[in-house]
Structure 1
Amino acid sequence: MTDTTTLPQSPWIAALPFSPRLGLVVLALAGLATGGVAAMAGSTDASRVIWSGATLPILLVLLVEIVTSLRKGSVGLDLVAALSMTAALLFGEALAANVVGLMYAGGQLLEQFAEGRAKRELTALLGRVPRTAMRKRDGTLEEVPIGELVPGDLILLRAGDTLPVDGKVVGTTAIVDESALTGEPLPVSRMADEAVLSGSINAGDAFEMTVTHPADESTYAHIVRLVEQAQQSKAPVVRVADRLAVWFLLVTVVIAGAAWWSSGDHLRALAVLVVATPCPLILALPVALISGISRAAGQGILIKNGGALEALTRVRTVIIDKTGTLTHGVAHVADIRTFDGWLGANELLRLVASLDQASNHVIAQALVAEARRRKLVLEPPLAVTEETGAGISGRVDGYEVTAGGSRYVAARSEGDPYALRAGLESGAAVVAAAVNGRLAGIIVLHDPLRDDAADVIEGFTRHGVQRIVLASGDRQEVVDALATRIRVTAAIGDLTPEAKLDVVRREAAHAPTMMVGDGVNDAPALAAATVGVAMGALGSAASSQTAGVVILVDRLDRALGALEIAARTRAIATQSVAGGLLLSLAGMLFAAFGFLPPVAGALFQEAIDIVVILNALRALR
């Protein structure tokens, strides 16, 4: 027999200074062995007393569990175990009572093992939360609680340390292991000034980093909150199983009563109660679901709760964002075209990137990053003026530099930036630049389609998805150009967040819908979908909070992986429930007709427990 309706045990039991489930198993085994010795010695009365004495504490613990469940409004199937032990004691079948007690205690111990195995990936995440950090201040190191760290603090990460907060590498290259966050097994290199994430492990030499977020706002703290939510959730299918459990209890009592009434043999009724096991309903489902969630976590996919996992199994429409989802969301310099060749490509990039140091626009940041990658020496800009979204002007190294959109630059210089755009791929972003009032050239940036995007879209179709809708805030011509490279049902561009939300609502009204996105503007759409999938807790906090699934690694194929894990988990859970219930009903009927005595019934029940739990744990693989 197993626990009532959820995996966690009662708080008063968990607080005991030893493992109560192991203690009950030891007690039952000791009673069984001692009573057996007494019976072989001819002391029948003594053996009955010993077997009864070993059963009563187990029965008492079980009754407390039942009362606790009833107070919470839950009718537990462990009532069957309590009835069978009580009936065995009243009928004088002390050996059967002791065996049932052993099977019940053994089932609980097996549950504890299964629960630990099912949660192993999630528990590994929670167990790595650092408590302190080595802060460097005034040239000295001090160990402080991570709650005291504030943005701007300098901390030292020793080899093997877990990064306590998000930050940026200082003055060197860091080697970090991000496997706990992303599922990627190989360490990665992070250059000076590059961001590193809390929860990563320093896999190289010691390095220093500056804190960018307090501990409670860090990536890892957010992930831990998601993990705790996943552990505590109760899936809709489990709540349905709770209701089915009540009917199973009634069927058990009816069969036991009918067996006693038709045969006049109370042992048949006892055997029916003994063999009736609730395990497929109250243990196999939660173990399978949490196993699936844990398996997903090991691949960098956080499924927040069982409800989200179930929703994934019903998806028939996928709505997918473009920037940061189908593409990487980071602009890269694809080409530099100079005007009349009077300025070299690297020199043009150096001047524009120097000026763009004064801007926080994403394209400006991309140009600065490219210049640093090329090891160009950037100068501080002077007298900078910026028109948000249009362009920027200022003085760099003695030159008057203007950079921005073609219209902005054309209005402030001699030359036609549009003449340099011939043959550009649709969707490319262009930064025009002028130096000393003369057109110098254009820098072409492109956010390329992810390498696996087409394969993932095909995978959605193979998985039973009937509609795939590309929804983006980019220009319609850009979206149409992208749609020619992947197979989608519809491609919709020029969407505001409100318009994207309307698209999701329309699709969700016709079929279960999965929305995949990454930005703040995707948060309403993610919340409106049947299940939202956010590309990264490493990205927008708003999107990862509203989504039911968060992909921690920057890989689109994990969205398809979430569907596959969910489908396999549900299939395994269904197998466990159906197979376990059929075996239980078959055993009850055999017992009702006198072919299965109480002790044999208890052993048969435990075999069913083991089979369904091991099958449920297959969701981990």
Structure 2
Amino acid sequence: MHNLSQFFPRLLAAVIRVCKLVPMLPVVILSAIPLALLDDWRPWGSVINLPILNNPGLGQWLVIALVLIIVIDTVRGMIDDIRHGQLGVDLLAVVAILSTVAVHEYWASWAVTLMITSGEAIEEYAQSKAERSLTALMNAAPQTAHVVNLPGVGRGFAADKGDLSDGFRRVGSALMAASAAQHFATVPVAQVQPGDVLMVLPGETVPVDGELLSGEATLDLSAINGEPVPRTVFAGARVMSGAVNGSAALTMRATQAAADSQYQRILQLVESAQDSRPAVVKTADRLAVPFTILSLAIAGIAWVVSGVPTRFAQVLVLATPCPLLIAAPVAYIAGTSRLAAAGVLIKTQDVLENLGRVTQVFFDKTGTLTVKQPQVVRVEMLPGVETQLNEDHVLMMAGVVEGYSVHILSKGIAKAGAEAMARLRARFAAGQRDCPEPEASTPGHGRDYPVVKNIREDTGKGVSGEVNGHAVRVGRLAFAAAGDDGFLATSPSDVRMRFGMLQPDEMASYVSVGGQLIARIVLRDVPRANTKAALARLHELGVSKLTMLTGDKRASAEIIAREVGIDEVHAELFPEDKVAAVQAADPVTMMVGDGVNDAPVLAAADLGVAITDGTSTAASESAQIVIMNDDIAAVPRAIAIARRTKRIMLQAVIAGLALAVVGMLAAAFNLIPVVVGAFLQEAIDVVSILWALTAVLDRD
């Protein structure tokens, strides 16, 4: 009973929504009442006697008026389509409805008007349902921003100060006061300019791109890159528009105007994809022309052979171009919506068509097939050196000092150091006390976090500092092994021999503690966790060749290629070499990359795919497809969605046209009455459109 009580209000709301989309629909439905009650009523008697129409009754005149309104509107739409380079193929509907009036089949006329208006309503509903993911994305676009109006924290402040961290300290207390006292003005987001300091309240959407001034903030990035877990960022971090703020107010400085921010770029991609028409839909438009000729031929032959004019209308009411006019574009909009839900944005719907025809995929290596930074694979203690430190101690100390560095290896070592620190804490909590300290009273002894002092980075050499009282050096062998006087105690070749040879795809940072070289940290470019599975899925989808294009050395490139299942490797390439390799391949080619140096080859490929984490890069600007969730598995998923979309579109079109042709032939032999045919045509339209709409379902 409870479900029933909810059903009727929902049904009523849906009906009202449909009627608002197509206001003529309720008028047509209600016109059935006077047609039924006042069909032959002629208060004017026999005064009127028109050619063809003779003397219709009052109810019949109402239907004729509706027919004229719909015909005029349909012809106007056909002319507008032709002006925009599309074929005006509603001719069948116009001829069908006029022919039913000409043979005085007014109920059939009413049925065709109902078919046209309800078909329009179904199209509007189907498109709105297919576009739900895209519409939700656009509706969530920030509209306003809170600009802080306190002195000393506005536009240009950070640039004047020179030191951004000093700027953070200066404005911190003022911004908290602004939050408490509402010292900000709410303005349209278009008025925000770079340099403005903004307040984003809990639960609000970040209006423009900027940098965080608050100490930390928790942001939901699911609308940008599909990342399900909120991300915690700290002062100075980039904050992207479209992110949803957590439970505490944050302050940020705008670095981009709204029109140039990340979320607006996403919306531009969505809008361009919605407005475009894929080649396959244009082909469907062209198919409507021979279908129209065939329908008119069947109707004309039926009239001539039978000698009954009604037979012409009887055939044409079943001639429905809706599978071509509506089902094809609905299927492709549904496919675009599915891609958006999977974190894949396309710039035009032609991309969706080409996705299903990919024969060869090229991949960049670093950051695409592999993670973005080299990762620690092992720690090797220097043979012959006695120390109480183990691998986790080395990683923890090295990770702490590398956390202050900007070197390419620093992030991988810092990440491994944080994991090692967690293991050491767990062991300490369990009672282990084997971490050596210079003195028991040294600050930091036994504490959760190490005490760090005197961090210094020598560019191109390494980083040094004190960790819990230990002098730590991390970097090149000559830097880490040097004594206080700058000289090496042993030769580099002797040290490398004691450690052993590295593999071609490995690199190392050396670590000394207390002036003694004790270990090296070995890193390598490791594949993404799901790369091998993603590439295997591409082979399953029938992609014939998977090729790696990289500027890296061949030995290291081939190691990665073997691990992930790449068929062919082109190594030691410059950007122009990558472009040449793609242009020499057979169509249809796809290039997948993530970096700035990938931009030329992404533009050269038939389909360029940029894998990003939601931030804007040169790669995503030149690509036709942008993967927003930094997931390589989205590549085969996008191809699978595209192929299913095209398959469903063809099924909807072919099934709809086949049913229409069978119906027309049956009507030509007088097996289907004209009124029944008009309603049967409506059923064919509904079946084809609803089948096209199944492209939005997650079944690939």
Flag whether TM exceeds 0.5 (same fold).
Answer: yes
Distance 1:407 1:88, change over 3 A: farther
Amino acid at match of 2:509: V
Q: TM-score, normalised by structure 2?
A: 0.77
**8 Å Cα contact 2:208/2:241 also seen in 1:** yes
- In the alignment, the residues of structure 2 paired with residue 155 and residue 599 of structure 1 have an alpha-carbon distance, to the nearest angstrom, of 65
| Residue 560 (str. 1) matches residue 606 (str. 2) | no
The residue that corresponds to 1:479 in the other structure is 557
2:338 to 286, 289, 295: 295
Distance 1:405 1:289, change over 3 A: farther
The residue that corresponds to 1:516 in the other structure is 592
The residue that corresponds to 1:8 in the other structure is none
The residue that corresponds to 1:550 in the other structure is 626
- In the alignment, the residues of structure 2 paired with residue 420 and residue 151 of structure 1 have an alpha-carbon distance, to the nearest angstrom, of 55
The residue that corresponds to 2:34 in the other structure is 34
| Residue 326 (str. 1) matches residue 369 (str. 2) | yes
- Bigger mean CA deviation after superposition, 148-157 or 545-554: 148-157
SS at match of 1:484: helix
- Bigger mean CA deviation after superposition, 601-610 or 438-447: 438-447
The residue that corresponds to 2:409 in the other structure is 363
The residue that corresponds to 2:651 in the other structure is 575
- In the alignment, the residues of structure 2 paired with residue 240 and residue 454 of structure 1 have an alpha-carbon distance, to the nearest angstrom, of 37
- In the alignment, the residues of structure 1 paired with residue 452 and residue 261 of structure 2 have an alpha-carbon distance, to the nearest angstrom, of 31
Amino acid at match of 2:231: S
Query: 1:499-556, CA deviations, whole angstroms, 9 ceiling, x for partnerless residues?
Result: 122221222xx24222211111112222222222211263552211222221110211
- Bigger mean CA deviation after superposition, 432-441 or 474-483: 432-441
| Residue 235 (str. 1) matches residue 278 (str. 2) | yes
| Residue 59 (str. 1) matches residue 71 (str. 2) | yes
The residue that corresponds to 2:23 in the other structure is 23
- In the alignment, the residues of structure 2 paired with residue 239 and residue 108 of structure 1 have an alpha-carbon distance, to the nearest angstrom, of 19
**8 Å Cα contact 2:99/2:312 also seen in 1:** no
- In the alignment, the residues of structure 2 paired with residue 213 and residue 445 of structure 1 have an alpha-carbon distance, to the nearest angstrom, of 37
SS at match of 1:532: strand
Distance 1:176 1:40, change over 3 A: farther
Distance 1:197 1:371, change over 3 A: farther
Question: How much does 1:474 deviate?
Answer: 1.7
**8 Å Cα contact 1:219/1:537 also seen in 2:** no
Distance 1:591 1:279, change over 3 A: same
SS at match of 2:591: strand
**8 Å Cα contact 2:561/2:567 also seen in 1:** no
Question: Where in structure 2 are the equivalents of 1:353-432 lying within 5 Å?
Answer: 353-354=403-404, 356=405, 359=406, 361-364=407-410, 386=459, 390-391=460-461, 404-406=475-477, 413-414=487-488, 415=490, 416=492, 418-419=496-497, 422=500, 424=502, 426-432=504-510
The residue that corresponds to 2:244 in the other structure is 201
Question: How much does 1:589 deviate?
Answer: 1.2
The residue that corresponds to 2:166 in the other structure is none
Query: 1:226-272, CA deviations, whole angstroms, 9 ceiling, x for partnerless residues?
Result: 11111111101011112111111111222222121221111111122
- In the alignment, the residues of structure 2 paired with residue 540 and residue 23 of structure 1 have an alpha-carbon distance, to the nearest angstrom, of 43
Question: How much does 1:216 deviate?
Answer: 2.9
- Bigger mean CA deviation after superposition, 165-174 or 307-316: 165-174
Distance 1:60 1:396, change over 3 A: same
The residue that corresponds to 1:9 in the other structure is none
- In the alignment, the residues of structure 2 paired with residue 326 and residue 27 of structure 1 have an alpha-carbon distance, to the nearest angstrom, of 59
The residue that corresponds to 1:504 in the other structure is 582
| Residue 448 (str. 1) matches residue 536 (str. 2) | no
**8 Å Cα contact 1:175/1:187 also seen in 2:** no
Query: 1:371-397, CA deviations, whole angstroms, 9 ceiling, x for partnerless residues?
Result: 788665666766x764xxx44689999
The residue that corresponds to 1:313 in the other structure is 356
Distance 1:599 1:289, change over 3 A: same
The residue that corresponds to 1:533 in the other structure is 609
Distance 1:241 1:213, change over 3 A: same
| Residue 93 (str. 1) matches residue 139 (str. 2) | no
SS at match of 1:286: helix
**8 Å Cα contact 2:28/2:66 also seen in 1:** yes
Distance 1:548 1:73, change over 3 A: closer
The residue that corresponds to 1:604 in the other structure is 680
- In the alignment, the residues of structure 1 paired with residue 566 and residue 309 of structure 2 have an alpha-carbon distance, to the nearest angstrom, of 66
Question: Where in structure 2 are the equivalents of 1:72-471 lying within 5 Å?
Answer: 72-138=84-150, 139=174, 140=178, 141-142=183-184, 143-150=186-193, 153-184=196-227, 186-193=228-235, 194-335=237-378, 340=385, 345=394, 346-354=396-404, 356=405, 359=406, 361-364=407-410, 386=459, 390-391=460-461, 404-406=475-477, 413-414=487-488, 415=490, 416=492, 418-419=496-497, 422=500, 424=502, 426-432=504-510, 442-471=520-549
Query: 1:123-145, CA deviations, whole angstroms, 9 ceiling, x for partnerless residues?
Result: 11111110222233533332233
Question: How much does 1:348 deviate?
Answer: 4.3
Question: How much does 1:73 deviate?
Answer: 3.8
- Bigger mean CA deviation after superposition, 309-318 or 166-175: 166-175
Query: 1:204-241, CA deviations, whole angstroms, 9 ceiling, x for partnerless residues?
Result: 33333444544333321211111111111110101111
- Bigger mean CA deviation after superposition, 209-218 or 471-480: 209-218
Q: Aligned-pair RMSD on alpha carbons?
A: 3.3
- In the alignment, the residues of structure 1 paired with residue 89 and residue 61 of structure 2 have an alpha-carbon distance, to the nearest angstrom, of 28
- In the alignment, the residues of structure 2 paired with residue 214 and residue 170 of structure 1 have an alpha-carbon distance, to the nearest angstrom, of 18
| Residue 492 (str. 1) matches residue 570 (str. 2) | yes
- In the alignment, the residues of structure 2 paired with residue 328 and residue 196 of structure 1 have an alpha-carbon distance, to the nearest angstrom, of 22
Question: How much does 1:586 deviate?
Answer: 1.0
Distance 1:501 1:197, change over 3 A: same
Distance 1:351 1:576, change over 3 A: closer
Question: How much does 1:351 deviate?
Answer: 4.3
Amino acid at match of 1:31: S
Structure 1 unaligned regions, length at least 5: 1-17
What is the aligned residue count? 594
- In the alignment, the residues of structure 1 paired with residue 418 and residue 454 of structure 2 have an alpha-carbon distance, to the nearest angstrom, of 14
SS at match of 2:148: strand
Question: How much does 1:611 deviate?
Answer: 0.4
Question: How much does 1:406 deviate?
Answer: 4.9
Amino acid at match of 1:72: H
Distance 1:35 1:514, change over 3 A: same
- In the alignment, the residues of structure 2 paired with residue 19 and residue 71 of structure 1 have an alpha-carbon distance, to the nearest angstrom, of 29
Distance 1:377 1:449, change over 3 A: farther
**8 Å Cα contact 1:176/1:204 also seen in 2:** no
SS at match of 1:39: coil
- In the alignment, the residues of structure 2 paired with residue 410 and residue 501 of structure 1 have an alpha-carbon distance, to the nearest angstrom, of 43
Distance 1:176 1:492, change over 3 A: same
Distance 1:203 1:596, change over 3 A: farther
Q: TM-score, normalised by structure 1?
A: 0.86
SS at match of 1:191: strand
